[in-house]
């Protein structure tokens, strides 16, 4: 590697490694563009487009039309923007569902964001290295780090965003799930069916817990469409990714399988969720003194030591100067 850097420096000057790296990146982009632009359209898609052209397009807003146009553009590059492995594609779709992104183009948009942000970060790093800092003030390793660092950061930024979205959404569902169970129990005991109760709870939770309300609405609509109830509930547990919801799904499926009362199962599980929420709050309260102790020590002990030892240190310094002068 050092020999290559030396050769590039001798041939192209101090900016040789940076220029070579930019040329390689540009070559890869230019080599990929013909395959993307020359991708043949699926014959089935042509038939669908022709069939759609004979029908009247339903009225939609401008935002929906723009979204459809963007989706159609990305669809041309599906083979490039989507994983070819079925298992990897399924796992990526599940992560995006858990983050709240349910559109069919979510995987393509995610990978397009990774590629675009990576290239933008690479361009920013190249500009910063060549124009702002200058290659004369940097070693070869520093040049490579400044160029590739922003590109790597831009590439991994969508992954970090999705992870944070999943975590926040799961926390919201966990906090609001006991209240949803209590409301669901009240609705079932009032004589509503399970589907009606789920839809009513979703409407009531819309303001305080939109993530859980969305999941409950999806369950209600799928049940109305005739999908198997066990499959609907299992899909909900996978989409939420929360252990409490998965246990609730298991309770409902077992209650349906063995013919037991749904209201009784909901009552027992709701009591358990309330106790679990209290235990979770107590656990957070017990962690607080430990966190405050560390913070208090960091913010209190150093100023206290300065106040107590500072004057003595100054006096000792003066005595030392006086003894040195004598």
How many other C-beta atoms are found inside a 10 Å radius of the C-beta of residue 9? 15
242 CB neighbour count, 10 Å cutoff: 20
- Per cent of the chain over pLDDT 70 is 74
Ramachandran quadrant class, 55 (left: phi over 0; alpha: psi -120 to 50; beta: rest): beta
Are the beta carbons of 215 and 239 closer than 8 angstroms?
yes
DSSP summary character for residue 82: S
pLDDT in tens, 229-243: 889 989 998 889 888
The answer to whether residues 22 and 127 touch, using CB atoms and an 8 Å cutoff, is: no
* Separation of alpha carbons 112 and 72, rounded Å: 14
The residues, ordered by sequence, that sit 6+ positions from 1 with a Cβ below 8 Å of its Cβ are none
Place of tokens 């858990």: 98
Give per-residue pLDDT as tens, 1-45.
Answer: 566 666 656 665 566 666 666 666 666 655 655 554 454 555 555
Lowest mean pLDDT among 24-38, 103-117, 205-219: 24-38
CA-nearest of 216, 134, 203, 144 to 173 is 216
pLDDT, tens only, 62-107 = 544 454 555 556 566 566 667 777 888 888 888 998 898 888 788 8
Residue 86: partners with Cβ closer than 8 Å, 6 or more residues away: none
pTM of the model: 0.66
Which among 153, 116, 151 is positioned nearest to 21, based on CA atoms? Answer: 151
Give the C-alpha separation, 232 to 227, whole Å.
7
Q: How far apart are CA 108 and CA 9, in angstroms?
A: 40
- Rounded Cα gap, residues 152 and 109, in angstroms: 18
**Dist CA 244 CA 286 (whole Å):** 22
Rg, Å, the chain Cα set: 30
Write the CB contacts of 220 (distance below 8 Å, at least 6 apart in sequence). Answer: 195, 198, 199, 202
Instruction: Single out the residue of 70, 66, 72, 84 nearest to residue 41, CA to CA.
Output: 72
């Amino acid at each position: 590697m050092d020999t290559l850097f030396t050769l590039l420096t001798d041939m192209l000057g101090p900016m040789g490694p940076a220029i070579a790296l930019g040329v390689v990146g540009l070559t890869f982009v230019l080599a990929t563009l013909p395959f993307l632009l020359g991708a043949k359209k699926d014959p089935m898609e042509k038939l669908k487009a022709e069939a759609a052209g004979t029908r009247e397009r339903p009225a939609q807003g401008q935002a929906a039309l723009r979204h459809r146009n963007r989706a159609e553009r990305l669809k041309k590059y599906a083979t490039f923007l989507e994983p070819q492995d079925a298992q990897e594609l399924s796992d990526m779709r599940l992560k995006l569902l858990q983050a709240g992104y349910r559109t069919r183009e979510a995987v393509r948009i995610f990978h397009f964001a990774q590629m675009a942000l990576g290239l933008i970060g690479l361009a920013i790093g190249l500009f910063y290295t060549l124009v702002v800092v200058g290659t004369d003030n940097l070693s070869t390793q520093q040049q490579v780090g400044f160029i590739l660092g922003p590109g790597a950061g831009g590439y991994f930024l969508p992954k970090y965003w999705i992870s944070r979205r999943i975590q926040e959404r799961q926390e919201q569902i966990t906090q609001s799930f006991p209240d949803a169970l209590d409301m669901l129990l009240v609705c079932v005991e009032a004589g509503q069916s399970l589907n009606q109760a789920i839809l009513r709870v979703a409407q009531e939770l819309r303001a305080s817990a939109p993530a859980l309300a969305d999941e409950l609405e999806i369950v209600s609509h799928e049940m109305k469409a005739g999908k198997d109830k066990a499959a609907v509930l299992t899909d909900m547990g996978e989409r939420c990714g929360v252990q409490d919801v998965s246990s609730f799904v298991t309770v409902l499926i077992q209650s349906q399988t063995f013919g037991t009362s749904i209201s009784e199962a909901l009552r027992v599980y709701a009591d358990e969720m309330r106790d679990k929420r209290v235990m979770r709050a107590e656990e957070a309260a017990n962690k607080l003194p430990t966190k405050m102790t560390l913070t208090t020590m960091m913010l209190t002990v150093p100023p206290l030591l300065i106040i107590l030892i500072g004057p003595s240190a100054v006096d000792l310094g003066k005595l030392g100067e006086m003894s040195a002068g004598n």
